Structure 1
Amino acid sequence: MSSKSFSKLAFISSAKPSAKAALKALSQRYGNHDAADADAIIAIGGDGFMLHTLRRHLPLIRRGLPVYGVNRGTIGFLMNEYSLDDLPERLAKAEPTTVHPLKMVAQAAGGELTEVAFNEVSLFRQTQQAAHISIIVDNKVRMERLIADGVLLATPVGSTAYNLSAHGPVIPLGADVLALTPISAFRPRRWRGALLKGTSKVRFEVLEPVKRPVSASADNSEIRNVTSVTVEQDLSASLTMLFDADHGLDEKILLEQFVA
C-alpha cells in the first residue's frame, strides 16, 4: 500500500470511444495535469495502450512516477476496473508492482537498433520459409539450430500474453526468471522452451537470413530483416505499476495458472 498523496493526476487514453469518454469524465472530476508535474499517470484503455504508455513516458517512469491502468479495452490484464468514484483513495491503497523491461539490441539490414519491451521480445519468420535460429545464453550456445515459426523471451509480466498463447509457462512475479519459448517448433519438435535466470543475456543468431528472413518485435515495435538480436533484462530500470489491493498483478498471474 502506498503512503503517497495523489492529488495531481495525468489522465491519458487510447482512441477507443469508451476510453475517450472515461478520460473526459475522470478529467472533469479530478482535473488533468501534465505528466511531468503529476503524482501518477492514469492510462485509460487496454493492455496495448498500457505498453504504449510505459514506452512513451519511460524517462518519467524511470524516475519513480507510477502508472495506474484503467480498463477500457478488451482483456485488461495490466489494468484495473473502471470507476469514477474515489480514485485518489484507490491509488493510495493500491499495491505497487515493480517491473524491469527487456532491452533488445537488434542487428538489421539498416544497422543497429535498440528497443525496450515490457512483455516479450519475439522473433518471427517473415515468409513461408521456417526460421532457422541459433540460441546463445550467456555466451554459450544452447541450441545450434531451432527450426520454427519463431521464438520469444518473456518477462513475468508478459508470461501470460503471447508467451502463454505459445504454450510457454506462467511465471509468478518475483520469481526472477525469464521464459524462453519456441513458436510452433518443427525441430527439435519436442522442445518446449526453457526457464532462464533473470540476469541471463540471450543472443539469437538468424541462420540463412536472406533465404529465411526474420523480424524481431519488442512488444509492438517491429524491426524487419534482423541478423542477430541480443536481449537482457534492464535491472537498472525499476518501473512502478499500481494495482487495486484485491486485484494485484501477482494474484492475476496466479489465477492464470488455474484456468482450464
Structure 2
Amino acid sequence: MTEPAPVPQPYSKLALLHSPTERAAEAAQQLRQCADFVPLEHADAVIAVGGDGFMLDTLHAMLDGKHIMPVFGINLGTVGFLMNPHRKTKDLAARLAKAKPIVVSPLRMDAVTQDGDAHTFCAINEVSLLRETRQTAKIEILVNGKVRIPELAGDGVLLATPVGSTAYNLSANGPILPLDSAMLALTPISPFRPRRWPGAILPDSSRVTFRVREPAKRPVAAVADQREVRDVAEVHIEIAREKCMTLLFDRGHTLDERIVAEQFVT
C-alpha cells in the first residue's frame, strides 16, 4: 500500500498567540496537542487565536517591533472578518500548506499637535479625525499637496484601506474597496458642509493631509486604528510600504472574497 505523500510545510517554525478569553485559551490548548510551537522571536509565522481585535493587536505589535511575519488567524471572537473559521480537527499543517497569502499595506500617520509635538502611528484599517467637543470640526483636506476641500465641517473625516473599508468607513457610508484595488477611501463623517460631498476614492500612492481650522475653539483628535492623538493641528497620511504584512487564509474563505460578499449583505 502506497504511503500518502507528506504535506508540504511552507512554515517550519510556528508561534502561537491567543486572546485572554476562556474560549480562545481552550482552543490554543487544543492546538498545542497537535503541533509544536516555538517562541515568537524564533518563528517564521504566527497562529493568532481570538477575534478581529486580537488580530489587530497582534499585527500592531509586529509593526512596532522589528520582525513582521505572516499571520494565520483562527476565529474565537464575534465577527472574525480577518480570521479563519475555528475547526476542532488536527488539520493545522494541511491548512497552512494550502493557505492563500493576502498582502496588507498599512497607513502611516504623522500627526503634529497644537503644541508642536510629533507622533507617528500605523493603521491597518483607517485613520480618522474626530471632533473632541460639541463644536463642529472644520478641516482642510489636501491630496498630494493640492487643496481639494478648503473646509469640511462636520464630525470629522477618515481615510481607510481596502481592509478597513468594511469597518468604520462602511458605517460612515464610505465605499467598500476590493482588496486588490490599490485605492484608499476618503470619507466624511456626518458632514455639514459641503453637505452633499460623498467623499473620494484615491490611488494608494496618494499623500493626504488634514489641517484643522480654528483648533483652539474646535479641537480634533486623530485616531490610527485604536491609537489616539488629541488636539492635532495637522495630520499627514500615506501608505507605509516598508511595513507590508501578510495574512494567511483558507482557500475559499479569503479576505478578498469576504469584501465582495459584504456588498451583498442585506
Q: What residue identity is the alignment partner of 2:60?
A: R
Contact residue 18 and residue 28 of structure 2 kept, 8 A: yes
Distance across 2 between alignment mates of 1:3 and 1:200: 40
Contact residue 17 and residue 46 of structure 2 kept, 8 A: yes
Larger radius of gyration: 2
| CA displacement at 1:36 relative to structure 2 | 2.1
Q: Where in structure 1 do 4 or more consecutive aligned residues deviate above 3 Å?
A: 59-62
Q: Which moved more, 1:241-250 or 1:53-62?
A: 53-62
Q: Which residue pairs with 1:5 in the alignment? A: 10
Distance across 2 between alignment mates of 1:199 and 1:228: 20
Match of 1:67 among 44, 67, 71: 71
Distance across 1 between alignment mates of 2:32 and 2:228: 33
Instruction: Give CA-to-partner distance per residue, 1:215-246, whole Å, 9 cap, x none.
Output: 11111111111111100011233211101011
Q: CA 1:170–1:145 in structure 2 vs 1: closer, same or farther (change >3 Å)?
A: same
Q: Secondary structure at the match of 2:20?
A: coil
Q: Which residue pairs with 1:152 in the alignment? A: 158
Distance across 2 between alignment mates of 1:44 and 1:169: 29
Distance across 2 between alignment mates of 1:22 and 1:223: 36
Q: CA 1:43–1:149 in structure 2 vs 1: closer, same or farther (change >3 Å)?
A: same
Match of 2:85 among 81, 84, 87: 81
Task: Please give the TM-score of this superposition, normalised by the length of structure 1.
Answer: 0.95
Match of 1:26 among 28, 31, 39: 31
Distance across 1 between alignment mates of 2:128 and 2:33: 40
Contact residue 19 and residue 44 of structure 1 kept, 8 A: yes
Q: What residue identity is the alignment partner of 1:66?
A: P
Contact residue 7 and residue 88 of structure 1 kept, 8 A: no
Q: Which residue pairs with 2:98 in the alignment? A: 93
Match of 1:174 among 180, 193, 196: 180
Q: Secondary structure at the match of 1:171?
A: coil
Q: What residue identity is the alignment partner of 1:71?
A: N
Write the mapping of 1:113-152 to structure 2, written as runs, cut at 5 A. Answer: 113-152=119-158
Q: Secondary structure at the match of 2:218?
A: coil
Q: Which moved more, 1:82-91 or 1:207-216?
A: 82-91
- The Cα RMSD (Å) is 1.5
Q: Secondary structure at the match of 1:78?
A: coil
Instruction: Give CA-to-partner distance per residue, 1:155-180, whole Å, 9 cap, x none.
Output: 00110010001110000011111000
Distance across 2 between alignment mates of 1:223 and 1:43: 28
Write the mapping of 1:102-251 to structure 2, written as runs, cut at 5 A. Answer: 102-108=107-113, 109=115, 111-251=117-257
Q: CA 1:216–1:51 in structure 2 vs 1: closer, same or farther (change >3 Å)?
A: same
Q: Secondary structure at the match of 2:95?
A: helix
Q: Which residue pairs with 2:59 in the alignment? A: 54
Aligned residue pair count: 257
Distance across 1 between alignment mates of 2:116 and 2:29: 42
Q: Secondary structure at the match of 2:246?
A: strand
Q: What residue identity is the alignment partner of 2:131?
A: R
| CA displacement at 1:28 relative to structure 2 | 3.0
| CA displacement at 1:214 relative to structure 2 | 0.6
Q: Which moved more, 1:32-41 or 1:129-138?
A: 32-41
| CA displacement at 1:150 relative to structure 2 | 0.8
Distance across 1 between alignment mates of 2:8 and 2:254: 17
Where does structure 2 lack aligned partners over 5 or more consecutive residues?
1-6
Where does structure 1 lack aligned partners over 5 or more consecutive residues?
none
Contact residue 9 and residue 93 of structure 2 kept, 8 A: no
Q: Which moved more, 1:156-165 or 1:3-12?
A: 3-12
Contact residue 110 and residue 120 of structure 2 kept, 8 A: yes
Q: Secondary structure at the match of 1:57?
A: helix
Q: Secondary structure at the match of 1:23?
A: helix
Distance across 1 between alignment mates of 2:8 and 2:192: 52
Q: CA 1:60–1:40 in structure 2 vs 1: closer, same or farther (change >3 Å)?
A: farther
| CA displacement at 1:86 relative to structure 2 | 0.5
Q: Secondary structure at the match of 2:215?
A: coil
The alignment-based identity, stated in percent, is 53
Task: Please give the TM-score of this superposition, normalised by the length of structure 2.
Answer: 0.93
Q: What residue identity is the alignment partner of 1:170?
A: I
